[in-house]
Every structure is written in C-alpha cells, then in structure tokens.
C-alpha cells in the first residue's frame, strides 16, 4: 500500500528536490488530463530532462513509490504531490507594497491553484489605502500588526520599493510573520528562525540583458 | 578621469556580480534622491551586507572607480550602473502566453524603468487574440514569426502553461529569438547560442511552504 503518510512528509527535504516538485506536479496533472494511468520514472525523467535515479529519489519524499513494471499511478502521485506542496490547503498571506508588482501579484490568479491566498494588502500611500485590488482590501501599514496576530498570518509578501524593504521586513518579523517572500531587489537581514525567499526579478532581467550584450559583442 | 568606457563594459562579467548590479543601482538612486554626493565602498557594503572588497570589484565592471578618501561620485555611478544594466536603452520583447501571469507582467509598469518594453503579446486563445492588455496588443501565435523578424525582437518572455512551454520555446528559437525569459515551471532545452533565464515563481513558493511546514513540525 502507498498510503500518503503525513509523518513521512515532514522530514527535511533537500531544497533542489522541493524546487523540482512543481514541475513534477505540472507534468503529472497534464498526464491525468490525458487520462494516462501509469508512468515510469524514466519516462518522467526524459520529459523533464532529469536523471531517472533523481526522479525516484525526489518522488520518494511524497511517500509514494513506483511499482515494478507499471511505475507510478498518475492519479495517486498527483494527490501526493499536491499534498507535499500544500496545494490542497490554504496558506493565507499579507502583501506589503501595493505598487505595480504588488498589484500584479494580487491579480495573478495562478496562486490560488497553489493554495496561496493573499487576504490583505498594506501600503502607506493614502491614495491606495481604502481601495481594493481584485477584491483584496488595501489597508494602511499600521493595521498590519493587529490583523497579522488576529488572523494568524504566517506569510508576508514584500513588494515595497527597495529603500523600504528592510524596515518593512523588521516590522513583519516583529509582528510574527514566519516567512517573507521578498520581491524587493535588496537582501534582507532577519533572525534565524524567519524564512526568507528572494525572487529577484530585476536580477534575472540583468542577467538576460548582460548575456545579450556579450553575445552581440562577440 | 572616470569616463564611462563602453569597450570595458563588454568584458565577461561574473553572473553573481551582474545579479548584484540592480541592488547597487537602487541604493545609489536613493542616495541621489537624498542629494548625497559621494559614497564609499565600505558604506555601500554595509548597507547591502556585502564585503567591501566585493563591492569595489563589482563596481569596477561599470568602468567607474572610487577616488581615495571621497569614494564614488553618486551621480556618476548611477549613470554608469544604468548604462551597465542597459536601463538607458529600450529592449523590446514579445510575450507568449497572455494568461494571468503574462497579463500581470504586461501590466507591471516597473519594467519600463529598466528599459524592458513588452511590445506585443501572443496567445492561441481566440477570446484573447485581438484584445489589448494595458495597451499591448494580443496577436495569434502564428503572427509571431512575421513580427519577430520584421521588428528584430531579441527577447521572448514565456508565460504559457507548462505543457506548451517547450514547443513555444522551439518556435521562439526558430523565429530568431536570442534570449528566452522562462516563467513556465519547466526546464527548457534550447541550442547553445540561445540564452535562457528561468524565474520559477512556483519553485520559490514551494520552498517557502516546505520550510514553513518543517518549522511547524519541529
């Protein structure tokens, strides 16, 4: 039996494995749509350009293992991956910085499929405070403390301009946020128990433009 | 003299250095707003939590060096960083996949400040083709080839669902795109001369949720 054991899922998983899980889920969901019933690790490996041994190891963290000769049951693996990734639960988040990027993330409905729900946005700009973005209310930043502790919010999405990022991060930490998803193009300093994940869109853009420039110069 | 030498800028720059450049520019622009005239490498290092030697080395790639005792001239360094990053030029890009994420990126006006201009979007969904998103027209994907070669577009932003990503990447390569910015949660296989930069938002989210889960389990 391959019952999904929540106990097993909580063991520390290597970060590269965690990062590959959404790719597996995407692929398996597509197979489910095509009504494919079983898939082998080598077939998954080929489609995602990975090593089959790596695939077996990665997927073992979901608590599911393939059966000899038939491989993985697609529907079972989809459920296990959704459970591993937490897509079947709701993770409420606050967003600070309701500018262009913040608004784009709030409007980005793709997050809902992955269980992330931005329940409120915060800003200090009086023109934004009191408004709504795609149904999400924008409050003044000073309301954050109150709401964060009352609603038990663990995730803070930081989309302020760079100069404000560290001070907002400090506020988030003080107000009990456990994980900060940082889109501001600055490194954040936080206590060890707080999780920080950077998504530096501008750094990626800089790499693209720099490589293009070098390619043209050759 | 610290004239900005374009020749020097084209030398290969280590990727970690390139990734830090937007942070330097952000910080320096803020200093310019505060009308600060000079800044030392140790001061920059402290604010960005970097090693001063690293700062000096990174900034040397802009063609600018600090002067003994006064440091860098802020206005000069801002211009040199903008030049290095290409923010003072316009980089036209096509976007394929006008779904939630694609629309969010088109609406995200922050890119304009960094010289990136999404001039057209492409999709295969008839309800989207012919419409406009924030003034950017959405064409059928089959128009891409024609327009890409006519307009000499080098950058393709890929925001399709995962299953379509590789085939759209193949089309982009065939149509002369030099750099693909991939937001689809799948690794792309392209010829060696084509630049690929991944921004895997879901992988980042997966890391956050996994770390939160482990923190709660402890």
> What is the percent of chain A where pLDDT is above 90?
53
Q: Is A68 on the interface with B (CB under 8 A)?
A: no
| Closest CB to A114 among B48, B163, B202 | B202
Q: B205, A181: Cβ pair inside 8 Å? A: yes
Residues 105-164 of B with CB under 8 A from A: 105, 107-111, 114-116, 154-155, 161-163
Q: Which of B189, B9, B58, B59 is nearest to A216 (CA)?
A: B9
CA distances from A63 to A16, A22, A76, B26 (A): 17, 16, 11, 45
> What is the percent of chain B where pLDDT is above 90?
53
Residues in chain A with CB shorter than 8 Å from the CB of B154 are 212
Reported confidence tier of residue A109, pLDDT bands at 50, 70, 90 = low
Mean pLDDT of chain A: 88
Render pLDDT for B150-184 as a digit per residue (tens, 0 to 9): 888 999 999 998 888 999 999 999 989 999 999 98
Render pLDDT for A39-65 as a digit per residue (tens, 0 to 9): 999 999 988 889 999 999 999 999 998
Render pLDDT for B35-67 as a digit per residue (tens, 0 to 9): 999 999 999 998 888 999 999 999 999 999 888
Q: Is the pLDDT of residue A1 over 50?
A: no
Render pLDDT for B183-196 as a digit per residue (tens, 0 to 9): 987 889 999 999 99
| Closest CB to A104 among B108, B115, B210 | B108
Give me the mean pLDDT over the B84-110 stretch. Answer: 87
Q: ipTM of this model? A: 0.84
**Taking CA atoms, what residue in A is nearest to B215?**
A193
Lookup result for tokens 């003072």: B88
pLDDT at A112: 77
Q: How far apart are CA A43 and CA A36, in angstroms?
A: 12
Reported confidence tier of residue B10, pLDDT bands at 50, 70, 90 = low
- Dihedral of alpha carbons B200, B202, B206, B209, sign: positive
pLDDT at B109: 67
Q: A154, B212: Cβ pair inside 8 Å? A: yes
- Residues 6 or more apart in contact with residue A96 via CB below 8 angstroms: A102, A121, A122, A123, A141, A144, A156, A157, A158, A159, A160, A168, A172
Element housing A91 (H / E): strand A91-96
Residues in chain A with CB shorter than 8 Å from the CB of B12 are 214
Q: Is A186 strand, coil or helix?
A: coil
Instruction: Give the number of A-B residue pairs with CB atoms closer than 8 Å.
Output: 182
pLDDT at A215: 83
pLDDT at B4: 47
B63: its two tokens: 């063609």
Angle value at C-alpha A21, between A5 and B124, nearest 5 degrees: 130
- Residues 6 or more apart in contact with residue B185 via CB below 8 angstroms: A22, A23, A26, B162, B200, B201, B202, B203
Give me the mean pLDDT over the B115-135 stretch. Answer: 93
Reported confidence tier of residue B2, pLDDT bands at 50, 70, 90 = very low
Reported confidence tier of residue A170, pLDDT bands at 50, 70, 90 = very high
| Domain pair B6-85 / B91-204, same fold | no
Homologous superfamily, domain B91-204: NAD(P)-binding Rossmann-like Domain (3.40.50.720)
Q: Is the pLDDT of residue A3 over 60?
A: no
**Taking CA atoms, what residue in A is nearest to B24?**
A186
Q: Is A96 strand, coil or helix?
A: strand
Q: Under a CB-based contact definition with an 8 Å cutoff, are residues A186 and A202 in contact?
A: no
Higher pLDDT pick, B212 / B104: B212
Count CB neighbours of A110 within 10 A. 17
pLDDT at A77: 97
Q: Under a CB-based contact definition with an 8 Å cutoff, are residues B66 and B72 in contact?
A: yes
Q: A199, B199: Cβ pair inside 8 Å? A: yes
Give me the mean pLDDT over the A104-131 stretch. Answer: 88
Q: Is the pLDDT of residue B1 over 80?
A: no
The CATH number of domain A6-85, selected from 1.10.3720.10, 2.40.110.20, 1.10.10.10, 3.40.1190.20: 1.10.10.10
Rg of the Cα atoms in chain A: 20
Q: B162, A108: Cβ pair inside 8 Å? A: no
Give me the mean pLDDT over the B11-31 stretch. Answer: 89
Render pLDDT for B65-76 as a digit per residue (tens, 0 to 9): 888 889 999 999
For the entire predicted model, the pTM comes to 0.78
Q: How far apart are CA A167 and CA A130, in angstroms?
A: 23
Domain map (residue ranges) of chain B: 6-85, 91-204
Render pLDDT for A136-156 as a digit per residue (tens, 0 to 9): 999 999 988 888 878 889 999
Q: Which of B188, B137, B116 is nearest to B158 (CA)?
A: B188
Q: Which of A104, A153, A166, A200 to mutate to test the interface with B (most CBs of B within 10 A)?
A: A104
Reported confidence tier of residue A203, pLDDT bands at 50, 70, 90 = confident
Residues in chain A with CB shorter than 8 Å from the CB of B114 are 202, 205
Give me the mean pLDDT over the A4-8 stretch. Answer: 48
């Amino acid at each position: 039996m391959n019952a999904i054991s929540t106990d097993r899922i909580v063991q520390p998983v290597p970060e590269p494995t965690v990062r590959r899980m959404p790719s597996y889920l995407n692929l398996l969901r597509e197979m489910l749509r095509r009504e494919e019933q079983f898939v082998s690790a080598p077939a998954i490996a080929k489609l995602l350009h990975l090593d089959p041994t790596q695939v077996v190891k990665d997927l073992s963290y979901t608590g599911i293992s393939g059966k000899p000769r038939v491989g993985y049951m697609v529907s079972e693996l989809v459920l296990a991956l959704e459970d591993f990734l937490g897509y079947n639960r709701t993770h409420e988040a606050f967003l600070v910085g309701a500018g262009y990027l913040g608004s784009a993330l709030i409007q980005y409905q793709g997050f809902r499929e992955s269980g992330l729900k931005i329940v409120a946005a915060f800003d200090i700009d009086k023109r934004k405070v009191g408004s709504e973005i795609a149904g999400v209310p924008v409050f003044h930043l000073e309301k954050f403390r109150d709401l964060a502790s009352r609603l038990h919010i663990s995730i803070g999405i930081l989309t302020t301009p760079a100069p404000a990022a560290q001070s907002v991060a400090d506020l988030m930490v003080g107000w009990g946020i456990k994980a900060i998803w940082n889109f501001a193009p600055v490194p954040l300093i936080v206590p060890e128990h707080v999780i920080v994940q950077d998504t530096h869109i501008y750094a990626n853009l800089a790499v693209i433009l720099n490589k293009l420039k070098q390619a043209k110069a050759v």
